[in-house]
Chain A
Amino acid sequence: KAGVTQTPRYLIKTRGQQVTLSCSPISGHRSVSWYQQTPGQGLQFLFEYFSETQRNKGNFPGRFSGRQFSNSRSEMNVSTLELGDSALYLCASSPGHVEETQYFGPGTRLLVL
């Protein structure tokens, strides 16, 4: 089975721009979660989508949004980028139940200048 894929792998943007990141889950997985990883704050949960519905949300401002398509692929969008949004964005997929393993992609490294 192919693993979780994320595109692009690297991205450079300037303050005020917006960005869209994509995540393709493992085939058959219906849950996609997004995490932000920074040296200062560590790994923080952004949100989770399950069957095209947001099922869980972390404590991030409304500039961070996401969606999930009928094929379970997910996108996250960050509008009005700030320098502090520079981070590694990881997505994870799972079949859907909380006790099931979440499989992580390699991440998208975003640099905001």
Chain B
Amino acid sequence: AQSVTQLDSQVPVFEEAPVELRCNYSSSVSVYLFWYVQYPNQGLQLLLKYLSGSTLVKGINGFEAEFNKSQTSFHLRKPSVHISDTAEYFCAVSFHKAAGNKLTFGGGTRVLVKP
């Protein structure tokens, strides 16, 4: 069975500082990896995804993530955060060659950007 662990439940960070959100996964088969963001009272929005190829993935709003197969990690980074980045962030995986869509999510990391 696959599982996703987000190591930090909350991350306070000052505006314009960098932030890194950690995600580790466990799976016996190859996976696709995703990062979603959820703003208050809204659904989830895709930030970026890794399917194959370059291990450094760039997404929207200045976010990027690096896939590390040996460490089974997919950490999300942003070099300089804004107040508007205050939200909850979810890492998720799905199986390669799966019969259908099923995302397995981590527990989420709440990012609070302070002025």
Asked if B108 contacts A45 (CB within 8 A), the reply is no
Q: A48 to B102: give the CA distance in the assembly, Å.
A: 7
Asked if A107 contacts B101 (CB within 8 A), the reply is no
Binding-face segment, A12-20, A50-58, A70-78 = A50-58
Interface SS of A by simple majority: strand
Interface SS of B by simple majority: loop
- How many A residues are at the interface, by size bracket? 20 to 34
User: Whole-angstrom distance from the CB of B103 to the nearest CB of chain A?
Assistant: 6
Number of interface residues of B (CB under 8 A): 27
Residues of A within 8 A of B99 (CB): 55-56
B45 within 8 A of A: yes
Q: A55 to B92: give the CA distance in the assembly, Å.
A: 19
With both beta carbons as reference points, the residue of chain B lying nearest to A45 in the complex is identified as B102
Binding-face segment, A61-69, A79-87, A94-102 = A94-102
User: Whole-angstrom distance from the CB of B2 to the nearest CB of chain A?
Assistant: 11
Asked if A4 contacts B43 (CB within 8 A), the reply is yes
Asked if B43 contacts A48 (CB within 8 A), the reply is no
Asked if B100 contacts A48 (CB within 8 A), the reply is yes
Interface residues in chain B, defined as those with a beta carbon under 8 Å from any beta carbon in chain A: 32, 36, 41-46, 49, 51, 90, 92, 94-108
CB-based closest 10 A-B pairs: A55-B100, A104-B43, A56-B100, A43-B105, A104-B44, A98-B98, A106-B43, A56-B102, A48-B101, A48-B100
